[in-house]
Amino acid sequence: MADDTRRAGSTDSEDSWLVNVAEGASRDAGGVPVELLGDYLRLLADAAVTGRQPKRAELDSVGLLGSRAAEQGVSAGRAVQLYLSAARRLWQELPAVARSRDSEVVRAAAAAVLHVVDLAVATLAEGYAVARRDLVRREENLRRELIDDLLRGESDLGGLVERAEPFGLDLARIHQVALAAPSRRLPESDAAISALEAVIFDRLGDRDVLVATKDGLLVVLAPADATTAGRTSPATDTANDLGRLMHSELNRLPRGRPWRVAVGRAHTGLYGIARSYEEAREALTMAERLHLDTPVVRAHDLLIFRVLLRDQPAIVDLVHDVLSPLTQARGGAAPLLATLDAYFATGGVATESAKRLHLSVRTVTYRLDRIRSLTGYNPADPAHRFTLQAAVLGANALNWPAQQLPVSG
């Protein structure tokens, strides 16, 4: 018995049986490195034979092993399985206890071993959790910095390619950017990001997809079909699919509703990502300014406003010359402008315009006559309609008459 006790507690080459226990536990846990056991087996052996409990410094070492497991990418379940399997195997191999006929000795040894297992596994899990939180925090910071640089069109292409690789991004591919804006301040961004990642990864896979936050918005960078690069048509519309997917998932969250999603066009390469992002931001701004009731907007659908605003002095002159006489009407220009907007949106049908505006047909026709008398342009005349509609689009883009027209240079 004395020889057996000396064998279990020794620290020299005679305790090679501990190596066998460690290797068996490693196999049980799917090949987790035996180095992650540290001195854990010796702590168990000492507890079984002498009843000695681990010191604080020894438990701290176990916590560091938990941190190392997280950094090496070992799952928490595998790490815990390694420790539990090691305890089971060691108990089976302890000669001193196994040969004892004194039940009190066996009971005391088992209690001592189980106490060490409890302390060690709890400390291991705590160290693992702390390291995982640090890793997630570092990854989130790296993700945020990468997103910021990608959306800015950072010029260090080589550096960005290297930084994007761990996130599974191929910057040579075609991508599009979608933005989601909550009705109020962005709520529980972690929950929103997790929800989007789950559904988008399921649909598109986890490569070439990045979900993050920026300036109070949720940002999704996703791959796009090569046929849609630089253009979008109803027949090849991946933007609507991504936008609807995001909107549907976000609306399941308890906060943030109603959400508005804007999707930029698909473009190639690094600078294409920044371009798609700017288009999505512009689409969000324009949708709010135009009071659009659709929850998902595409940059492609708002191209006409970009064209109009590209020559702002010209569109300012058009709005001023064509529509400013409407300010003379009772109630100002806004009701008449809304009537024109509805009239053009319904294909020039007064009855449909009345339904959209919740007005009588007589009121709509009266307003159309008033517009003709004030501006000299007849909304029903095809020769005048284009000028009036372009002016209305320009007014919406400039948020007139809610805001004063910019001074035309």
CA distance 343 to 353: 5
Token readout for 37 is 């056991």
Query: What per-residue confidence (pLDDT) applies to 96?
Result: 56
Dihedral (Cα; 340, 342, 343, 346), 10-degree rounding:
160
Mean pLDDT is lowest, of 39-43, 89-93, 157-161, for: 157-161
Token readout for 209 is 């997809």
Distances (CA, A) of 53 to 47, 82, 103, 370, 387: 6, 20, 21, 94, 89
Query: What per-residue confidence (pLDDT) applies to 155?
Result: 66
Is residue 137 over pLDDT 50? yes
User: Tens of pLDDT along 49-104?
Assistant: 888 999 999 999 999 999 999 999 899 999 999 999 999 999 888 765 555 566 78
Over range 305-311, report the average pLDDT.
75
Query: What per-residue confidence (pLDDT) applies to 408?
Result: 59
> By three-state DSSP, how is residue 52 classified?
coil
Distances (CA, A) of 142 to 146, 164, 269, 271, 320: 6, 10, 20, 20, 49
CATH assignment of the domain containing 174: 3.30.70.2730
397 and 308 Cβ atoms separated by less than 8 Å: yes
Give domain status of residue 343, yes or no. Answer: yes
Whether 118 and 204 share a structural domain:
no
Whether 279 and 320 share a structural domain:
no
Question: Which is more confident, 408 or 296?
Answer: 296
Is residue 367 over pLDDT 90? yes
CA distance 57 to 46: 16
Give domain status of residue 153, yes or no. Answer: no
Mean pLDDT is lowest, of 109-118, 152-161, 217-226, 309-318, for: 152-161
Question: Which is more confident, 299 or 94?
Answer: 299
CA distance 40 to 22: 10
Question: What type of residue sits at position 176?
Answer: Q
Token readout for 338 is 């809304």
DSSP state of 266: B
Whether 230 and 332 share a structural domain:
no
User: Tens of pLDDT along 227-245?
Assistant: 445 444 443 455 558 899 9
Query: What per-residue confidence (pLDDT) applies to 238?
Result: 52
Mean pLDDT in the chain?
A: 85
State what percent of residues in the chain have pLDDT above 70: 88
Query: What per-residue confidence (pLDDT) applies to 154?
Result: 67
Mean pLDDT is lowest, of 43-47, 309-313, 356-360, for: 309-313
Question: Which is more confident, 37 or 14?
Answer: 37
User: Tens of pLDDT along 252-280?
Assistant: 887 777 889 999 999 998 889 999 999 99
State phi, psi for 347 to the nearest 5 degrees: 75, 25
pTM equals 0.60
Give domain status of residue 218, yes or no. Answer: yes
CA distance 332 to 325: 10
Which among 340, 332, 387, 401 has a CA at the least distance from the CA of 367? 340
Is residue 353 over pLDDT 50? yes
Whether 46 and 62 share a structural domain:
yes
Whether 293 and 315 share a structural domain:
no
Whether 92 and 207 share a structural domain:
no
Look at residues 134, 153, 175 and tell me which one is the last residue of a structural domain: 134
CA distance 26 to 210: 35
Token readout for 74 is 């070992």
Whether 37 and 93 share a structural domain:
yes
Distances (CA, A) of 249 to 31, 132, 192, 259, 287: 38, 27, 9, 10, 21
Give domain status of residue 155, yes or no. Answer: no
User: Tens of pLDDT along 196-225?
Assistant: 888 888 887 767 788 888 888 999 999 886
Confidence of residue 4 (pLDDT cuts 50, 70, 90): very low
Query: What per-residue confidence (pLDDT) applies to 99?
Result: 53
Range of the domain at 240: 166-305
Give domain status of residue 405, yes or no. Answer: no
Is residue 34 over pLDDT 50? yes
267 and 171 Cβ atoms separated by less than 8 Å: no
Give the torsion sign (CA, 269, 270, 271, 275): positive
Token readout for 3 is 């020889």
Confidence of residue 6 (pLDDT cuts 50, 70, 90): very low
